[in-house]
Structure formats: C-alpha cells, structure tokens
Structure 1
Amino acid sequence: MNLTTTKLIKKGHACVVLVKDEATLVIDPGGFSEPDAAVGADAILVTHEHPDHFDEGRLRTAMEANPGAEIWTLRSVAEQLAPAFPGRVHTVGHGDAFTAADFEVEVHGELHAVIHPDLPRVTNVGYVVDDGQVFHPGDALTVPGRPVENLMLPVHAPWSKLSEVVDYVREVRPDRTFSLHDGLLSDNGFAIYDRMLGEAGPGLGGAVHRRLVPGESTDLPD
C-alpha cells in the first residue's frame, strides 16, 4: 500500500491528475479536458487514440513546457509523438510495468470496448498506479485481476449502459469509485448517475461512489 499521501485532481471528462510529493502524473488529457490539463506534468499516460483522450497539440505543449516530462502510451499514439521527442515517448502494452516519475504503473487491457459491431475496435490500455491505489481503465471495462482501491469509473459513453457500469464495479470490487468519462452529461444526467451509483441505486458491492467536478481534488486514503 502507498504510504505517501496522493492527491487526486479531477479534470474535464476522462482526465485525472495524481500528485505525490514533487511528482505529477496526468492520465488522458484529451480534447474534452482543459487545454492546460497536461501542463506541469512530469509523466503522462494515454490510454488510446480517440480525441477525447488524446490531443496531440496539448501533449506537445506539455512536453515543451517541461523538458523532463515523458509519455507512456500504446503504439498508435506513440508513433505520432516519438519523432518530436526522442527518448521521451515510451510504447507499452498489456502486462508491462514501469516507473513514471515517482509512480509505479502496471498496464492492463488490450482493446477498446465495442461501440458497434460494424466499427473497428482500436487498442486501449488501462493503468494501475502504485500497487492498486488507482486504476484508470480508459475506454473499456477491463477487470485488472488484482485488488484496486480507487477505480476511475467511466460512467457514460456510447459503448456502455448503466447496468454494465454497476456490474463492472461489482466485479472489480474497489473500495471507492470516482466518476470519469462524463463530459457528455448534462446536469440532469449527473443527477441520474449520482443517484444510481449512490445509495438509491442497485448497489456497487460495497464500493463508495463520488463525483468530483473539474478542478476539484481529494486526498486518497493511505
């Protein structure tokens, strides 16, 4: 278990920031997040190539702002960035493990969830951070097969429905879940998902759910 306090900062849509000691890790600063979501990052993780998770211009800005920053991602994204930042963009896949800044990261998953059978599936990887303290699955309901304390939960997408989201949490069995992938929801939608993932809903198998608004932060329990 991580013995150092980690701060979780919610950014727009699918992006989260983790801050521990002097290290900052950003996951999925895409086009639906704040333009400066990745600026100041020491390490950046990208789950897949869809524009709401990957914005090449914003990543380039972050990499230029911090010459020591590095990116870990799958091949389809790495190929677009590696030529401009030699030695700073790393290709990863399912089963890999590495250190990004001061964070220990494991890679889980291989494919994006099915949007429609007639559409090709792109590669998607999820990231377990610091021995299960955080899991960000990207655009898939990947079960990492190991304990997870805080699940970044994609609550709303063209590829999912509420029953699948609930059953996914029950299968992963985290201590807590945080709403993620919610950039297409209105206030009415937030109210519905907050209720269904809370005490009034069918139940998450004991996990406590929370929604942070963009810019809001919380300290993750040790």
Structure 2
Amino acid sequence: MQLTFHGHACVSLALPGGGGTLVIDPGTFSDTATALTSAAAVLVTHDHFDHVDVPAVAELLTSHPDVRVWASGPAAAALREGGAQSNQVQEVAAGQVLDIAGARVTVGGGDHALIHPDVPRAVNVTYLIEVDGQSLYHPGDSYEAPARLPEDGLDVLLVPVSGPWMRLAEAIDFARSVPAGAVVPIHDALLSEIGHTLTGRWLDTARLGGEYTYSRLTVGEALAV
C-alpha cells in the first residue's frame, strides 16, 4: 500500500494494477489539484468545505466521466448542486461494503464530532479501506473506531490532530485504542510548526505508550506500508 498525504484531511491510495488512485476528502485546505490528478475514485466523509472542494471535484467529474464519487448524503447533494452528474455520485451510509477498483471499502460512522451543543452535527461517515491485504482507516471529523478491524489490526490509522471540535486527549485515546502499525496525523491545517512539534511529542509512543509508529507526513510525501 502506498499512501500520499495532500494536506489537511486529504490522502490518496494507489489502486491495484496501476489503476490510478483512490482519493479521500479533497477539501479546500488541501493540495486538491495534485490529489485529483490521477484519481480513479473519490471518497468524501462529509460536506464541510475543508473535506470536499465542490468546484474542483465537479470539474474532475465533468472532464473524466469514468470517475466516481462516494460520499455522505449531504456531501453527495452538494456535489450534484455544484454541477456533478448524478450517475457519477453515490450516496453512502454506515454498514455498506463497497468494491471500488479492487479496494474493499467498509462505510461506518454517522455523526460529526460535537463542536458545540448549539451547532447542528453534520453527517460524517468513516471509511475502512482494504487493498491487497493491507488496511487504512479514515474517520473524517470523528474519533469513532471501526466497527470491524482486520484480524491483525490496521496498517494505518489516520488521526485528526486539530480542529474546533477536538481535544488532544481524545486524539491520544483514539490512537491508543485502535490497533494500528502506523498512526498518521491529519486535519492539521490549523497547526503551526510549534503545534505540530507539541502534538507529535504527545502522540509519540515514547510519552504515553502504545505500539504504533507515529509518522507525520508533509504535503506530497508518501508512506509505503
């Protein structure tokens, strides 16, 4: 498995047989143009702009009629309203299992993490992706664990590390509670370099324990698993 980080919450995975990439959450805080360059399919966890750049994804679908997007209900509606063809956008819900270009994708989740009691919670789905016997989990804007784990645990757990809805303690507990070989921080656009350093110190297993490798990626950097 080769994972590439495109900034904030956006990552892509190389699909089997040179079939392009599976892109997750190409939002406006990410290098969306690069992320979508070789996209064969796109997954969107929810409709917030930092997770789906509607004009960019709609343009991709217009120029590449073979590309498909799977998204939460509100995100799918936003893409259709933004000009995407209905037959290229599929709404997903927790409990579905998808076969996308050789990748097995299990949809979970349901609710965005609570920002404030007075702020309505968005629909947020999660994705467990299994490719060639390896696995990755993207929780969107939540710390909801996968309903099912591969027998040997995850290969990569993506952990949100910054946002108006989170506490660092929740990120630490999430990283320690979901078995994974590697923890990769995401949802980090609001962090300065100082913030990244402090976050890395707390999430690194030397500080609070755990059995994973903490692997911060810079924009455009790939991790081979």
Q: Distance in 2 between matches of 1:99 and 1:41?
A: 16
Q: CA deviation at 1:87?
A: 1.5
CA deviations 1:104-129 (Å, max 9, x no partner) are 10001000000111111010001000
Q: Distance in 2 between matches of 1:192 and 1:179?
A: 13
Worse-matched range after superposition: 194-203 or 161-170: 194-203
Q: Secondary structure at the match of 1:42?
A: strand
Match of 1:215 among 211, 220, 224: 220
Q: Secondary structure at the match of 2:86?
A: coil
| Counterpart residue type for residue 209 of structure 1 | Y
Q: Distance in 1 between matches of 2:79 and 2:37?
A: 16
Structure 1 partner of 2:156: 150
Match of 2:10 among 12, 15, 20: 15
TM-score (norm 2): 0.90
Contact persistence 2:205–2:214 (CA under 8 A) = no
Query: Is 1:27 matched up with 2:24?
Result: yes
CA deviations 1:161-216 (Å, max 9, x no partner) are 1111111122212221101101111111111111111144212x212111000000
| Counterpart residue type for residue 67 of structure 2 | A
What is the number of residues matched between the two proteins? 214
CA RMSD of aligned residues (A): 1.5
Q: CA deviation at 1:132?
A: 6.4
TM-score (norm 1): 0.91
Q: Distance in 1 between matches of 2:32 and 2:98?
A: 27
Q: CA deviation at 1:26?
A: 0.1
Percent identical residues: 38
Q: Distance in 2 between matches of 1:156 and 1:213?
A: 15
State the 4+ residue runs in structure 1 displaced beyond 6 angstroms: none
Q: How does 1:18-57 map to 2 (within 5 A)?
A: 18-20=13-15, 21-23=17-19, 24-36=21-33, 37-57=35-55
Counterparts in 2 of 1:118 and 1:86: CA distance versus 1, 3 Å: closer
Q: Distance in 2 between matches of 1:102 and 1:63?
A: 20
Q: Distance in 2 between matches of 1:120 and 1:86?
A: 27
Q: Distance in 2 between matches of 1:87 and 1:67?
A: 9
Structure 1 partner of 2:168: 162
Contact persistence 2:70–2:89 (CA under 8 A) = yes
Q: Secondary structure at the match of 1:143?
A: coil
Unaligned runs of 5+ in 2: none
Structure 2 partner of 1:94: 94
Contact persistence 1:132–1:146 (CA under 8 A) = no
Unaligned runs of 5+ in 1: 1-5
Structure 2 partner of 1:206: 211
